A and B are shown apart, each in its own frame.
Chain A
Amino acid sequence: QKEVEQNSGPLSVPEGAIASLNCTYSDRGSQSFFWYRQYSGKSPELIMFIYSNGDKEDGRFTAQLNKASQYVSLLIRDSQPSDSATYLCAGSNTGNQFYFGTGTSLTVIP
């Protein structure tokens, strides 16, 4: 069973819209969750991390964690073409191991 699952997409949204990326995890003991952005041919770049239930906002990005539902999401407000990338959800489990989801490809259409 995969530790972290994501819808691979692709997800397309018009410029200025809200992009919603979702992730579920299987290990209830997982402590922390991370969203990475990866442009084609480049390395992953950490956008946000969250370890408490609720919302965490940073500029146009909001991470949401619901431990009861084992669900993590990333909202991108006012999406820009430069946000087009693959978004990787990752979790850190009770064994202090770090697992990536398969990634969601996002395209923001001008």
Chain B
Amino acid sequence: DTEVTQTPKHLVMGMTNKKSLKCEQHMGHRAMYWYKQKAKKPPELMFVYSYEKLSINESVPSRFSPECPNSSLLNLHLHALQPEDSALYLCASSQVVGSNYGYTFGSGTRLTVV
């Protein structure tokens, strides 16, 4: 299995809703990441988990809350989002942080906040 699986593929939520994005990989990778990508922009790093521990939080607002329940799963909990948070949210994994072999990306969740 060489994939990173993200669910749901599309999500529309109101500003008062609570929702979660899910990411799963079974490649034995010990680093997992959340990225946010706006149209015609490169992905922006949000969070890095290394061996299930949060190692980098790129000054992301607290309305985004990551969770890594085990080495295969990564969640992103969303609460009280703003319309400007609408974007493609990408999960990625790598063997370890700083791997020479790059990251494998999931297909992303297209989030729309209304």
Contact = CB atoms under 8 A, between A and B. Distances in A.
Interface stretch (A66-74, A77-85, A92-100): A92-100
Interface residues of A, number: 22
Interface stretch (B59-67, B69-77, B100-108): B100-108
A102 B99 CA distance: 21
Interface residues of B, number: 21
B42 A101 contact: yes
Most buried by A among B98, B101, B104, B108: B98
B102 A42 contact: no
Contacts of A88: 42-43
A86 to B, nearest CB: 8
Contact of B90 (A43, A49, A96, A102): A43
A51 interface: yes
Interface in A21-69: 31-32, 34, 36, 41-46, 49, 51
Contact of B42 (A34, A43, A49, A103): A103
Most buried by B among A43, A44, A45: A43
Interface of B: 33, 41-43, 45, 56, 88, 90, 97-108, 110
7 contacts: A31-B98, A44-B105, A49-B100, A90-B102, A92-B99, A92-B100, A98-B45
